[in-house]
């Protein structure tokens, strides 16, 4: 279809696309649609495929023109957006649906003119990104970090045994409970209830925080108590509420932790002969994790500086898509609905905090992508092969085995990772980075700063 187009830049990374479809193409598409209907339609008094065109148009004139216009608009937009001649920053974002402006009318005697508005990639004009002086926080691994890992290993290798029926639940016990959270009237059970819910008392794995209320209960005992839920509790229907809760302790078990010795090391992996071998392996693992995190923190601090020099107007549809992705991941983590998470995020200042975080993440991402393009960073076949070698080495596998897991799409994303690593290395080389404040290792690894 031969269409004429004009793109006008608006505020907030919007564009208005004005389209003109010549009347010859309008007539062609309209006639094609009419032929489809005359072949397949059946009306009283006419056999299928024998309805005269004039009868069809007289009876369904407005509906036919409406459908024809919809087809023409869709076809014209597809031709424009799929065209390789249309610049990337003039195509609609994947999550931005073009919005039709006004109410265009189909007139077979005239060209069809219509306009749509949609979000596009923002214009990013990179400010100063070289020669910046940046301090980054850092951390070091010490003895207590290794000891913490060892305790977690002991916990994973613990033997779980039934406690005596007369025993009372204490912190560290593994409990299995049935619970019901009642409605506000305190009489009728709500939909929030579960059977056979197992967790370790005091391990902070029970999101409803019944630990203190269950402590002291005996196997088979049922207990009613009131629970005050925080104003920002993840389940919106409970946030800020005080509810009656009923818990039955179905099973009570205790953990027998193994001794911290060479036998434990050998149980973890036969490659370890002594406890020191296991400790050395833990340190090596933590150091690799710290190295990766240190790289992230350096980049984050550097991008904060570049963002100050590079203002960007991020379109609303891009922010919405980022937030929905975060909500979806959080909903999966808490095993609840995305709608519940969205309601929870709208409580108090949470919504604005998440929005601000999303905007910063997108701002950073756009800077990285723009620098990759401007610096013409590429991922060669040799780069990909080296990455496969690295992945194979880290997993103790053959390169051919690793490659089996990478289809065309996976290789594409692997190349994107390589390009991002290259631009990150360039940023580190072109700027003056030095260590600043020292942080606790655990805080350093979990801080999103």
pLDDT (tens, 9 = 90+) of the chain, 449 residues, equals 678 899 999 888 889 999 999 999 999 999 999 988 888 887 887 878 777 888 888 888 889 999 999 999 999 999 999 988 888 889 999 888 899 999 998 999 999 999 999 999 998 999 999 999 999 999 999 999 999 999 999 999 999 999 999 999 999 999 999 999 999 999 999 989 999 999 999 988 888 889 999 999 999 999 999 999 988 887 878 889 999 999 999 999 999 999 999 999 999 999 999 999 999 999 999 999 999 999 999 999 999 999 999 999 999 899 999 988 888 888 887 777 777 766 665 554 456 788 899 999 999 999 999 999 999 999 999 999 999 999 999 888 999 999 999 999 999 999 999 999 999 999 999 999 999 999 999 999 987 66
* H/E stretch holding 114: strand 112-119
What is each CA distance from 36 to 22, 29, 30, 73, 112, in whole angstroms? 22, 11, 10, 18, 22
User: Half-sphere exposure (CA, 13 Å, Cβ side) for 338?
Assistant: 7
Q: Which two tokens stand for residue 239?
A: 């946030």
Residue 246 to residue 181: CA distance in whole angstroms? 7
Sign of CA dihedral 406, 410, 414, 417: negative
Q: Which two tokens stand for residue 439?
A: 């942080």
Comparing CA positions, the residue from 372, 348, 357, 320 lying closest to residue 129 is 372
Residue 391 to residue 276: CA distance in whole angstroms? 27
Residue 237 to residue 117: CA distance in whole angstroms? 38
Sign of CA dihedral 200, 203, 205, 206: positive
**β-strand pairing of 112-119 with 242-256:** unpaired
Residue 269 to residue 278: CA distance in whole angstroms? 9
- Cβ atoms of residues 57 and 106 within 8 Å: no
Comparing CA positions, the residue from 142, 396, 428 lying closest to residue 305 is 428
Residue 20 to residue 24: CA distance in whole angstroms? 12
Q: Which two tokens stand for residue 427?
A: 């940023």
Residue 67 to residue 235: CA distance in whole angstroms? 45
- In this prediction, residue 345 carries a pLDDT of 59
- In this prediction, residue 346 carries a pLDDT of 58
How would you list the strands of the sheet with 112-119, edge to edge? 4-9, 14-21, 112-119, 99-101
- In this prediction, residue 342 carries a pLDDT of 66
- Give Rg (Cα) of the chain: 31
382 three-state secondary structure? helix
Cβ neighbours of residue 329 under 8 Å, at least 6 residues apart?
A: none
> Could you identify the residue written with the tokens 């992996």?
269
- In this prediction, residue 199 carries a pLDDT of 92
């Amino acid at each position: 279809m031969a269409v004429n187009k004009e793109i006008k830049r608006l505020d907030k990374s919007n564009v208005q696309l004005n389209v003109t479809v010549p009347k010859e193409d309008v007539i062609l598409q309209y006639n094609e649609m009419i032929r489809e209907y005359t072949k397949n339609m059946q009306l009283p008094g006419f056999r299928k495929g024998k309805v005269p065109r004039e009868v069809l148009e007289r009876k369904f004139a407005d509906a036919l023109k409406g459908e024809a216009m919809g087809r023409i608009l869709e076809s014209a937009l597809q031709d424009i957006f799929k065209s390789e001649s249309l610049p990337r920053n003039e195509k609609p974002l994947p999550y931005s649906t073009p919005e039709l402006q006004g109410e265009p009318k189909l007139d077979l005697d005239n060209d069809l003119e219509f306009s749509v508005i949609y979000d596009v990639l923002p214009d990013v004009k990179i400010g100063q990104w070289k020669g910046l002086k940046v301090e980054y926080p850092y951390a070091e691994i010490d003895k207590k970090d290794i000891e913490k890992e060892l305790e977690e290993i002991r916990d994973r290798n613990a033997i779980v045994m039934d406690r005596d029926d007369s025993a009372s639940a204490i912190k560290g016990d593994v409990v299995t409970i049935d619970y019901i959270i009642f409605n506000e009237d305190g009489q009728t059970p709500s939909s929030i209830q579960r059977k056979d819910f197992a967790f370790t008392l005091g391990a902070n794995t029970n999101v409803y925080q019944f630990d203190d209320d269950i402590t002291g209960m005996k196997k088979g005992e049922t207990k009613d108590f009131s629970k005050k839920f925080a104003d920002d509790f993840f389940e919106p229907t409970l946030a800020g509420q005080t509810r009656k809760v009923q818990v039955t302790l179905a099973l009570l078990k205790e953990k027998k932790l193994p001794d911290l010795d060479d036998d434990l090391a050998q149980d973890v992996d036969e490659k370890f002969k002594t406890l020191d071998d296991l400790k050395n392996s833990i340190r090596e693992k933590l150091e690799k994790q710290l190295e990766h995190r240190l790289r992230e923190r350096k980049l984050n601090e550097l991008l904060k500086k570049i963002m100050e020099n590079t203002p960007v107007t991020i379109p609303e549809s891009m922010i919405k898509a980022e937030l929905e992705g975060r909500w979806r991941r959080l909903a999966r983590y808490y095993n609840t609905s995305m709608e519940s998470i969205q309601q929870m995020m709208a409580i108090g200042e949470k919504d604005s905090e998440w929005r601000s975080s999303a905007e910063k993440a997108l701002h950073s991402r756009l800077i990285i992508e723009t620098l990759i393009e401007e610096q013409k960073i590429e991922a060669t076949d040799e780069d990909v092969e080296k990455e496969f070698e690295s992945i194979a080495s880290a997993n103790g596998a053959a390169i051919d085995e690793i490659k089996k897991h990478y289809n065309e799409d996976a290789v594409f994303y692997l190349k994107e990772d390589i390009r991002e690593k290259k631009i990150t290395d360039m940023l580190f080389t072109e700027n003056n980075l030095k260590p600043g404040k020292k942080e606790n290792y655990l805080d350093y690894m979990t801080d999103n700063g």
